[in-house]
């Protein structure tokens, strides 16, 4: 009922629009539609969910910890210690479940954060390196080039900054 109503309102507003600014209401209805669809989907799938295995739980906890502690922890051993497991066990489990090593996830998250800083801030490369707790700017630049294929400066230039 709610979904049908939203679709009708979206259709009506889309037909009435006179300028690009009029799309705002359509986009808002679309967002509500997506949120409500997700709620319906979640409600229907609550009973069908199978609990995560112990290893899958460890992977999920690790990934969450990486997003939370990225600037503090850089080594797999630091994450393993925080999760109360052996570093080799953590790495083996991550690789078994995901196909990638634990350090791969740490480096990818670090690269994503670095890219976001380069695009969204006017901070110097040295300031970004410091923010991400790299020992110095040259180590940050080497890390970035190794994982992104280009230097931080080239990345910033390519993204209109």
User: What is the pLDDT averaged over residues 144-152?
Assistant: 97
Q: Kindly state the percentage of the chain with pLDDT values over 70.
A: 92
Half-sphere exposure of 2 (CA within 13 A, CB side): 11
pLDDT at 68: 93
pLDDT at 116: 92
16: confidence class by pLDDT, cuts 50, 70, 90: confident
CA distance 78 to 106: 11
DSSP-assigned letters across all residues of 31-55: HHHHHHHHHHHHHHHTTTPPPPPHH
Tell whether pTM > 0.85: no
Write out the two tokens for 70: 């990225």
Return the H-helix or E-strand segment holding 97. helix 87-98
161: confidence class by pLDDT, cuts 50, 70, 90: low
């Amino acid at each position: 009922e709610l979904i049908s109503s939203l679709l009708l309102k979206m259709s009506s507003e889309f037909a009435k629009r006179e300028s690009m600014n009029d799309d705002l209401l359509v986009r808002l209805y679309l967002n509500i539609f997506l949120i409500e669809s997700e709620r319906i989907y979640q409600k229907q799938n609550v009973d069908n969910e199978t609990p995560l295995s112990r290893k899958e739980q460890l992977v999920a906890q690790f990934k969450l910890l990486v997003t939370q502690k990225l600037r503090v922890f850089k080594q797999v051993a630091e994450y393993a210690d925080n999760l109360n497991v052996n570093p080799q066990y953590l790495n083996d489990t991550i690789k078994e479940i995901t196909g990638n090593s634990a350090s791969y996830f740490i480096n990818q998250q670090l690269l994503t954060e670095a890219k976001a800083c380069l695009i969204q801030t006017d901070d110097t490369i040295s300031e970004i390196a410091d923010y991400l707790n790299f020992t110095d700017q040259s180590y940050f630049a080497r890390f970035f080039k190794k994982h992104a294929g280009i230097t931080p400066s080239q990345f910033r230039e390519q993204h209109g900054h």
